[in-house]
Amino acid sequence: MDGRLEMPDLTTFKNYVAIEDWLAEQDPNWEKAVADLGKPLVLLGHEGYSGGPQAALLAHPDWRCVYFDALAAVFVPRDRVSESDFPSVDFAARHFQEPARPSVPNVRRAAAREMKALYNLAAALPAGSIRRWRTSLLLAALDRARVALAEDENQPDVWILLGNCYRDLHLDTATVPFSPFDSWQVERDLRWAQTTYCFQRALKLHPDNGTAWRYLAMSYAQRGLVEAELAASEQWLRFDPKVSPRQRKQVAERRRAFALAQPSANLSERPITIIEQSEASGRTSWNWPVAERLAGLYMHLGRPADARRVWEEASDCPSPAIRHCRLACTFWVERDFDAALGHYRAARKADPKWAETYWGLALLHTQLGKARAALESSRQGLSLSLKPQQRSQMEALQTFLAAYAGKE
């Protein structure tokens, strides 16, 4: 309904609002209500929605999305509109075929708005939805982020959304969760480092952004980095006016539990303390096992430049290829993609059989919209000896990429 064009009667108004609410709640009552209207075209604007109404239609087997821009999405019933006349939107194809295309309408902040709509849609998809859809939407959102940041990199909301996209962009559900007792594992930890870095970029631009502090605290909590979580939570409570009494109580209880625990037992949950002790020692070089853990903590805290310094100066690195792979990760997190690719190529030259190189190249090319290069790297990696998590992710990636590698 558009009040500028028509004045609906009360019955129509109530019917449309009910359908809108059912779609937002993904209540199946919307199906009969829309069918009773004759299965019309459904246009849903992005503004004011969390993505739920669009997710209900996108995930439904009888409906297709045939248009999506920075303002709205259009859905049609499969049995009334042919695919040949109005093809379904293929979000992954957009990513691989035209990642730098301007958003529609091509005006300031359009890319940021489209990115938000894509992320909201991905986040709202039902739990049973095909993972391919969520991956496609998040990759398309990464493209919009690049366009938005090229327009103006000083946009805190874009950095926050980008952090959320990285957090949710995982290729399989079999990855073992991060533990603060572990050293760096790229296939598990990279997306978390990217997430934290983006939230930190938002806070550098807007230090009193309560939303950024909340997401940062949540991300630390998901990794068991309790000390960092509580430090971020303090700032969240300080700057977010929407914090509820219940949330304040939960943070206070979390703080008391952490304080009562034995410090020695929780040392691995204290990344800030570990970093401070390391920096106070004045040491500039560490043996490789210690460097792996220390640099990994820097990465998890959103400080890739410090991680790079530790990995560069560490002694007894097992091989040049490993060091190049670690340095590639630091540049990747900082979004210096050319430098990251350069280090991965150097790693491949140093040791053509080091599998992590191909994992990195496959995923980085995927995020950059280079399906053919990503598929080739994944195939090369799968011919080598891989850790179970790496193999699981690369197999999922190869399956996803196969449909797009020949269409760039």
Q: Which helix (H) or strand (E) holds 63?
A: strand 63-68
Residue 20 near residue 32, CB atoms below 8 Å = no
CA–CA gap between residue 51 and residue 66 (Å, rounded): 16
Amino acid at 3: G
Residue 126 is predicted with a pLDDT of 77
Q: What is the pTM of this model?
A: 0.93
Which of 181, 213, 179, 174 minimizes the C-alpha distance to 196?
A: 213
- Which stretches of 209-301 are DSSP H helices? 210-222, 226-239, 245-260, 271-281, 288-300
CA–CA gap between residue 57 and residue 47 (Å, rounded): 17
Residue 271 is predicted with a pLDDT of 85
> Is the four-CA dihedral 402, 98, 68, 171 of positive or negative sign?
positive
Residue 25 near residue 95, CB atoms below 8 Å = no
Across the strands, what pairs with 44?
73
Q: What is the DSSP string of 65-134?
A: EEEE-SSEEEEEETTTS-TTTSPPP-HHHHHHH-TTPPPSS-STTHHHHHHHHHHHHHHHS-TTS-HHHH
Other Cβ atoms within 10 Å of 207 Cβ, number: 12
Q: How confident is the prediction for the chain on average, in pLDDT?
A: 92
**Token reading at 237:** 């409570």
Ranges of residues in the chain with a pLDDT under 70 are 1-4, 127-130, 171-181, 262-268, 407-408
Which of 313, 378, 314, 323 minimizes the C-alpha distance to 347?
A: 323
Residue 113 is predicted with a pLDDT of 97
Which of 293, 113, 301, 271 minimizes the C-alpha distance to 198?
A: 301
Domains of the chain as residue ranges with CATH: 315-408 (1.25.40.10)
Residue 6 is predicted with a pLDDT of 78
